[in-house]
Every structure is written in C-alpha cells, then in structure tokens.
Structure 1
Amino acid sequence: MSTKQENIFLFVPNLIGYARILLAFVSMYFMPTNYKIACTCYVVSALLDAFDGHAARLFKQSTKFGAILDQLTDRCGTLSLCIALSNFYPKYMFLFQLSCVIDISCHWIYLHSSILQGKTTHKFVDMSENPIMRYYYTSKPILFFMCFGNELFFASLYLAHFVTGPIIAGHGLFKLLCLISTPVMIVKTGISLLHCYIASINISIIDVNERKEKK
C-alpha cells in the first residue's frame, strides 16, 4: 500500500513564505510614492520571517526549499529597499550598490559552500571556533539584535526621506534611529564579509582535495 507523497510547497512555513513575497512586492510597488503602505508591508514581511521558523519546528516541516525561499526573500527585500534609497539619496548610490553586492554575494557563496560541504567529508574551517561568531550563531537575542539593527538602519533612512518624526535631542526620530543603528549595520556587513572569506577557504579546500583524488 503506497503512502501519499508530501507536497512541500504547501507546508505551513512555505505558505508563510509566499505571503512574505506578496507583501514584499506590494512594498516595492509603493516605495516611491506611499511610505505608509510600503513600510507596513515591509515590516510585516520581516516579522513573518520569525513565524515561518517557528511554524517549521512546530509542524516539523523544515525543508531546504523553505530555507532557500526565506533567504531569497530577505535578500531581495533589502535589495529593493536599497534601490529606492539610491533614488532618494543619489549622492550615496555607490554605497548602496556596494551594500547590495556584499549582502547578495556573501550569502550566495556561503550557502553554496554549505551545500558542497554536506557532500564531502573533508576538514573545513569552522566559524564557530571564533568566540564572536559562536555567540552570533548560538545566541538568539544577539542574532535578533544584529538583524533588527541592520533592518532599522535602512528602514529609518527610508522613512527619513518622507517624514522627520518627533524631534529628539535636536534630531528627527528617524534620522536619530538611523545614526544609532549605523554601527550595527557596519558590524553586520563585516560579518557578511567574514562569511565570504571563510566560505571561499572552504570551497578551496574542496577544490584541492578533489584535484588530489583525480591524480
């Protein structure tokens, strides 16, 4: 008697992922014209990022497809916001471009190195051996703080283009939030570059060992 095959595309966390994509598209459409709708959809999409992980564990529906879908939604959401910011702050376009390149390329190579490592038995460089990276990966409050701070930087910079907000210490609220979250954004960018560096080393280890095996 055959068992019915599971349809991972209809798993609860993946359905949440589709909702995130829809919200991201709505946010992208309204970014140039309506900051209230754009920001609301962007924030809700980001918050759902936490719920799909809980749903995956609750229903035991963790999948590689869901993990990749989650990563792509995050990267594309930040990319779309940086494109909008490049139009609002053309003087800093290069920095926004650089941010997008670092974010996407570092996550891409790290994801692929992780996949390749799973297919081999070689000794790789483990970032968890570094105390800073170990806390980054094992402490949910620290990880949340870093991700939240990074998103806060871009979101507050976006809102500062449209509204000042309450005046605090001589600065508008959103400008102040942008200034406060800048160090977090810089540190997270540095961590992304570290991801890229370690992933490159691990891929080179795979290349060297594969070349040895062919000889």
Structure 2
Amino acid sequence: MKATDNMYLFVPQILCYIRIVVELAALYFVTSNYVIASLLFLVHCILDLMDGRSGRYFNQCTKFGAFFDHSLDMVFESFWLLALSDLYPEYRIYLIPRAFLTVYAAFLFLYSFPDSEHAFGAYTSFLTGPITWGNHKYMMCCIDWCCSLTLMISRFNAGPIVPVLGIGLWNLLFYITVPAHFQKTFFMVMECVVSLKNIPYNEIKKREKIITNKCKKNEI
C-alpha cells in the first residue's frame, strides 16, 4: 500500500460497496420472497468473509476498512432484526430492543476502544475457555447468521420433516443455533458495560493531556 493509493478503491472497500447493495436488496425481499432474501443473505455472508481476507492478501488493510466492515455488519444485523419483527410481531418485545443493542453496543465499543477492534476479547477470555476470542467470535457470528436466516425461512417454510423428531429442518436448525444468538446478546451487554467503564478513564487521560499541553505552552 502506497501513500498515493486511493483507499476508497481498495478491494475490501469495493466488496463493502457491493455488500450495501446486496444487503438493501435482501431487506427489501425479506417479507415478500424468502428464497431471494435467503440467497442475498448468503451472498452477504460470503462477501463479509472475503473483505478481511482480501485486505490481508492485497496488503490493503486500513483502520477505515475495519470500521466500515464492522459498521455494515452491525447496521445490517440491526435492520434484519427489525424486518424479522414484522414477520414475528409476537417477538417484537425482544427483537426491537435487540436491534437497538446491536448498533449501540458496537459504536459504544468503537468509541471506548478506538485503537483496537478486538480489545473486548481481553475482558471476555474467561467466558471462552481454551478457544481464542477471535475464533470464538467468528464461530459465534456464523452460527448467529444461521439462526437469523432460519428464523426468517421458518415463517414461510418449515422445511422437510426430520424423521424421529417430527419437526421441519429449518425449525430444527433454528433451535440448534438460537443459543449462540443469546450468547452473542450477552456479549453485547457486556460490551456496553466494559465500554461504559472505560470511557471515564479515556476522558481523564484526555483532560490530563490537555492540561499537560497547556502547562508546556505556559512554560514556553
């Protein structure tokens, strides 16, 4: 990466631009055509997996790219949950606050820890056991995607009946993956708690830096 390169045209950013179109289309079809919405959702997941890897492959990793990618993830997840609340009015009491929490926790964390996207992992390592936070977060998010997708599909089609269990395949997949969704929700709440505890510390450091700079100017 050179100083003269236009980072807005880096491969990861281009993939994010495509994701915006795909995500908007998926949200448009989520309540009317579950097949198209499901396919677009899967395309979104593939592009989300590709952008970070493309940044490392082409040596185009930037702080803006990480923020852009993370922001798209949280905003899309939030709007997807709001769309699900239209499909499941009986669950709105949970889905709408969860959509708000998704965005609030993400941006509160990015404000509190501006220099590290994964700093929160240091505070939750005791919850993940021997699995590293990065791998655990990756698996949890993938399973949560499956949960959100199967919940949407289940409203229109339960899927083929699973022998012995007697329930639809999509319903079964939802029941299997929903614990990861609630685990992610718990981590988001902890993100808020940790971030709110860290913000006063950051503010104190900023004020001390301002006072130190003023003292140096007065000495001059």
> Structure 1 residues 67 and 19 mapped into 2: Cα distance closer, same or farther (>3 Å)?
same
Cα shift at 1:127 = 4.5
The match for 2:62 is: 63
> Structure 1 residues 4 and 184 mapped into 2: Cα distance closer, same or farther (>3 Å)?
closer
Cα shift at 1:17 = 0.9
Cα shift at 1:194 = 1.3
Map residues 166-205 of structure 1 onto 2, 5 A cutoff.
Answer: 166-168=160-162, 169-205=165-201
> Structure 1 residues 136 and 109 mapped into 2: Cα distance closer, same or farther (>3 Å)?
farther
The match for 2:126 is: 131
* Structure 2 residue 18 is the aligned partner of structure 1 residue 12: no
* Structure 2 residue 22 is the aligned partner of structure 1 residue 28: no
> Structure 1 residues 72 and 127 mapped into 2: Cα distance closer, same or farther (>3 Å)?
closer
Cα shift at 1:126 = 6.7
- In the alignment, residue 137 of structure 2 is paired with which amino acid? L
CA deviation profile, 1:25-82 (whole Å, cap 9, x unmatched): 1111111211111111111111211111111001110112211221122112212221
**Cα distance between partner residues in 1 of 2:29 and 2:80:** 11
Q: What TM-score does the superposition give when structure 2 sets the normalisation length? A: 0.84
Unaligned runs of 5+ in 1: 119-124
Percent of aligned pairs sharing the same letter: 28
> Structure 1 residues 178 and 208 mapped into 2: Cα distance closer, same or farther (>3 Å)?
same
Question: Conserved in 1, the CA contact under 8 Å of 2:120 and 2:191?
Answer: no
Q: 1:164 aligns with which of 158, 163, 179?
A: 158
Give 3-state SS (helix, strand or coil) of 1:171's partner.
coil
Unaligned runs of 5+ in 2: 213-220
> Structure 1 residues 126 and 68 mapped into 2: Cα distance closer, same or farther (>3 Å)?
closer
The match for 1:122 is: none
Question: Conserved in 2, the CA contact under 8 Å of 1:153 and 1:181?
Answer: yes
The match for 1:101 is: 100
The size of the alignment, in residue pairs, is 204
Map residues 134-153 of structure 1 onto 2, 5 A cutoff.
Answer: 135-138=131-134, 140=135, 142-153=136-147
Give 3-state SS (helix, strand or coil) of 2:31's partner.
coil
Q: Where in structure 1 do 4 or more consecutive aligned residues deviate above 6 Å?
A: none
- In the alignment, residue 168 of structure 2 is paired with which amino acid? G
CA deviation profile, 1:104-156 (whole Å, cap 9, x unmatched): 111111011112x67xxxxxx97426433584424x2x332201111111111
**Cα distance between partner residues in 2 of 1:151 and 1:13:** 21
- In the alignment, residue 29 of structure 1 is paired with which amino acid? Y
- In the alignment, residue 18 of structure 2 is paired with which amino acid? A
Question: Conserved in 1, the CA contact under 8 Å of 2:79 and 2:99?
Answer: no
Cα shift at 1:95 = 0.4
